[in-house]
Amino acid sequence: MQNSENYQENWIKNINSSGALISYLYRTNLNFLSKKLKPFNLSGGQFPFLMSLYHDGTVNQDSLAKAKGYDKTTTARALKKLEDQEYVVREKDQEDGRVKLVRVSKKGIKIQPHMKNLSEEWTEILFRNFSDDEIQKAMEIIKKMSLNVSSYMEGEENK
C-alpha cells in the first residue's frame, strides 16, 4: 500500500482530467487560506470577496457575485459573515433600494496587507520552480480558459 504522499503525487502525475486538477488546486487553495485566516475568524471562501472589494471599492452585491462566478445565495452568505465580523459594510443603494452595495470597513482595511501577503504567498507556492516566461505563459493560459468559461456561462444565461 502506498503512503498518502506517494499516492497523491502519483495521482497528480497520472491524471489527465483538467477539471480534476483545477478542482484540486481550488480545494488546496481554500484549505491554505482557511488555515492562514483562522486568527481573523475568516475562511478561505470569504477571501475572494474581500480581495475584490479591496481592488474595486464599493460594488453592487449582485455584480460582485457574477464577476466572481458565484451564485447570489453563496455571495450573500459570505458577505453576511464578513458583515457580522465587521470586515465589510452592506448598505442599500440610495437610488434603488433593492440593490445592496458592499464596501470594506475600517476593520477590513486593517487586514488588507495580510490578505495581500497571503495572495502573494499562494502565488509563490503555485509558481515555484517556474521561469518568468513559464509564469507569463501559464497566466495567459489561465486567463484564456477563464474567458472561455465566462463566455460560455454568458451564453447559458441568455438561453
How confident is the model at residue 1, as a pLDDT?
Answer: 56
Cβ neighbours of residue 50 closer than 8 Å, sequence gap 6 or more: 42, 82, 87, 88, 104, 108, 115
Is the confidence at residue 14, as pLDDT, over 60? yes
What would the pLDDT profile of 98-146 be if each residue is shown by its tens digit?
899 999 999 999 999 999 999 999 999 999 999 999 999 999 999 999 9
Position 103 in a domain: yes
DSSP state of 59: E
Is position 129 within any domain? no
pLDDT, one tens digit per residue, over 50-93 is 999 999 999 999 999 998 889 999 999 999 999 999 999 999 98
Q: Give the domain range for residue 104.
A: 42-121
User: Would you say residue 83 lies in a domain?
Assistant: yes
Residue 3 lies in a domain: no
* Sequence-separated (6 or more) residues with CB below 8 Å from residue 59: 52, 53, 101, 102, 103
Residue 140: what pLDDT? 98
- Cα separation, 104 vs 108, whole angstroms: 5
Q: In this structure, is residue 50 part of a structural domain?
A: yes
Residue 76 belongs to a domain? yes
Residue 157 lies in a domain: no
| CATH code of residue 73 | 1.10.10.10
Give the total number of structural domains in the chain: 1
- Whether 104 is in a domain gets the answer yes
* pLDDT on residue 16: 92
